[in-house]
């Protein structure tokens, strides 16, 4: 299996609405590694590593906005995989 890595920054109402923990649960369900953290500018930054299909499914999940989140924009960039394991909330 080829592992891909994507960094996503979610804009909108994404802090204080369980975005990070919902993302962690969904990533674990899909077997995707990485992390999610709040940033000082009010966005949430997410790094995802896993199979292409699983990572793309996670990006779709993030675009829809988990729970009570309202995602106005999701900026996504490719990065070299680092071999992460597990998913953490920072």
Average pLDDT value for the chain = 96
Domains and CATH numbers, the chain: 3-79 (3.30.70.100)
> Which of 76, 68, 82 has the alpha carbon at shortest distance from 15?
68
Tell me, what's the pLDDT at 65?
84
Residues of the chain with pLDDT > 90: what percent? Answer: 93
> Would you place residue 1 in the very low, low, confident or very high pLDDT band (cuts 50, 70, 90)?
low
Considering the candidates 13, 20, 30, 37, report the single residue annotated as catalytic: 20
Tell me, what's the pLDDT at 66?
80
Three-state DSSP class for residue 59: helix
Listed in order, strand segments (DSSP E) in the chain are 3-13, 33-38, 44-51, 70-79, 87-89
Catalytic site includes residue 20: yes
Q: What span, in angstroms and rounded, lies between the C-alpha atoms of 2 and 53?
A: 10
Interval 73-85: pLDDT, tens:
999 999 999 999 9
Q: What span, in angstroms and rounded, lies between the C-alpha atoms of 6 and 16?
A: 23
Considering the candidates 7, 13, 30, 38, report the single residue annotated as catalytic: 38
Virtual torsion, Cα 16, 27, 61, 71, nearest 10 deg = 30
pTM for the full predicted model:
0.94
Interval 8-49: pLDDT, tens:
999 999 999 999 999 999 999 999 999 999 999 999 999 999
> Would you place residue 67 in the very low, low, confident or very high pLDDT band (cuts 50, 70, 90)?
confident
Catalytic site includes residue 24: no
């Amino acid at each position: 299996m080829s592992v891909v890595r994507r960094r996503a920054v979610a804009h909108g109402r994404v802090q204080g609405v369980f975005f990070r923990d919902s993302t962690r649960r969904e990533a674990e369900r899909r077997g995707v590694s990485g992390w999610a953290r709040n940033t000082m500018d009010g966005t949430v930054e997410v790094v995802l590593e896993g199979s292409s299909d699983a990572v793309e499914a996670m990006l779709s999940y993030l675009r829809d906005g988990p729970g009570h989140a309202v995602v106005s924009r999701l900026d996504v960039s490719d990065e070299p995989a680092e071999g992460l394991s597990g998913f953490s909330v920072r």
